[in-house]
Amino acid sequence: MIPQLSDLFATARVVSLPLATRFRGIDSREALLFRGPEGWSEFSPFAEYDDTEATAWLAAGIDFAWNPTPPLLRSSIPVNATLPAVAVAEVAAVLARFGSCRTVKVKVAEPGQSLADDVARVEEVRRILGPEGRIRVDANGAWNVDEAEHAIHALASLDLEYVEQPCATVPELAEIRERVKYMGVPIAADESVRRAVDPLAVARAGAADLLVIKAQPLGGIVSAGRIVAEAGLPAVISSALDTSIGISMGLHLAATIPRLDYDCGLGTAALLAADVTDEPLLPVDGELPVRRVTPSPALLELHAASAERTSWWYARLIRVWDELTA
């Protein structure tokens, strides 16, 4: 069931949360929050996404607010720390925000940086985690196949759990996966799932060993859960740098997945310098509890987006709701 626009606007609030560390080229994260019969939910497609792409994000937000979740199979979710492409000198301080996580996802291939920067950053993470720590890297599709092969050769001695979206396209993923198979480095697909016309194409092509699954871009808990089941590959449930309310949606998705073989990328509230709740979903001993989140009125007020940005989000909500109900 899709609520009326007036039902959404009855509780809608737009917030702008400062980031502790620049991430994906942004210093603050905007989100539209609203409440339904099941509780608070989030609509936060990135600003540059068009209305068609944002439609799945709204379907997800509505689903989490209006529909009961499927049965929850666990009450706590192991999570990784997420390290933006910061300088070596900043690595320890950023990781400290996540508490003691055994797994770190390191952003690599940042525009304007070199492979040497990536190697130095991953070396520093390995030094801090020790040999038992699990390190995965995420290139956000920035390498071509040769660059990916070169980079994986340079990073492999640091012991990689997997490489997330080394290249942009499914055929490139298939090619790099074949080239590094002999090294035992698995390939994960993220953008090739959440931004693809067909999220199952990458699995069908045999182009990835595992999938990164995000609740909002994949249309919500039920829809994302179906994709995981049909893909038949291990899934890492991750955030889209959501507020604690969006993280809560991801945690509920993670709790419904029959098998969770990898730590989930849901620790990202630690990258925010402020949140909408007095009890943010920050990892403790590498875990997060599966629970809903209610924002604090004072924090909604304190972090309210400007009038101009609020109008922008309201207009976007109207357009995307129109597209969703068309």
Ligand X SMILES: O=C(O)CCC(=O)c1ccccc1C(=O)O
Annotated binding-site residues for Mg(2+) read 138, 164, 190
Q: Which of residues 119-178 bind ligand X (CB under 6 A)?
A: 138, 140
Active site residues per annotation: 107, 214
Task: Provide the angle, in degrees to the nearest 10, between the axes of the packed helices 145-155 and 170-180.
Answer: 40
Task: Choose between 239 and 256: whose C-beta lies nearer to ligand X.
Answer: 239
Task: Choose between 107 and 126: whose C-beta lies nearer to Mg ion.
Answer: 107
Asked if 241 is part of the footprint of ligand X (rule: CB under 6 A), the reply reads yes
How far is 117 from 66, CA to CA, in rounded Å?
Answer: 45
C-beta separation of 140 from 168 below 8 A: no
Alpha-carbon distances of 217 from 7, 147, 168, 210, 256, rounded to whole Å: 22, 28, 17, 17, 17
Asked if 275 is part of the footprint of ligand X (rule: CB under 6 A), the reply reads no
Among 55, 192, 239, 310, binds ligand X (CB under 6 A): 239
* Token digits of residue 64: 């989490």
* Collapsed DSSP state (helix, strand, coil) of residue 252: helix
From ligand X, Mg ion, none, interface partner of 82 (C-beta below 5 to 8 A by class):
ligand X
Which residues are registered as beta bridge partners of 36? 39
Binding residues: 138, 164, 190
Q: Which of residues 168-197 bind Mg ion (CB under 5 A)?
A: 190
Sign of the Cα pseudo-torsion (40, 41, 47, 50, in order): negative
From Mg ion, ligand X, none, interface partner of 80 (C-beta below 5 to 8 A by class):
ligand X
From ligand X, Mg ion, none, interface partner of 192 (C-beta below 5 to 8 A by class):
none
Name, in order, each residue with C-beta under 8 angstroms of 298's C-beta and a sequence gap of 6 or more. Answer: none
Asked if 192 is part of the footprint of ligand X (rule: CB under 6 A), the reply reads no
Task: Choose between 78 and 265: whose C-beta lies nearer to ligand X.
Answer: 265
Edge-to-edge strand order for the sheet containing 160-164? 81-83, 103-107, 134-138, 160-164, 187-189, 210-214, 235-238
Task: Choose between 36 and 80: whose C-beta lies nearer to ligand X.
Answer: 80
Task: Choose between 32 and 193: whose C-beta lies nearer to Mg ion.
Answer: 193
C-beta separation of 313 from 305 below 8 A: yes
Among 190, 199, 257, 272, binds ligand X (CB under 6 A): 190
Alpha-carbon distances of 165 from 41, 50, 126, 171, rounded to whole Å: 28, 22, 21, 12
Asked if 138 is part of the footprint of Mg ion (rule: CB under 5 A), the reply reads yes
Round to the nearest angstrom and report the end-to-end CA distance of the chain: 14
Per-residue contact string for residues 79-108; x = within reach of ligand X by CB under 6 A: -x-x----------------------x---
38-46, 64-72, 138-146, 275-283 -> range binding Mg ion (CB under 5 A)? 138-146
Asked if 242 is part of the footprint of Mg ion (rule: CB under 5 A), the reply reads no
Contact footprint for ligand X (CB under 6 A): 24, 80, 82, 105, 138, 140, 190, 238-241, 265, 268
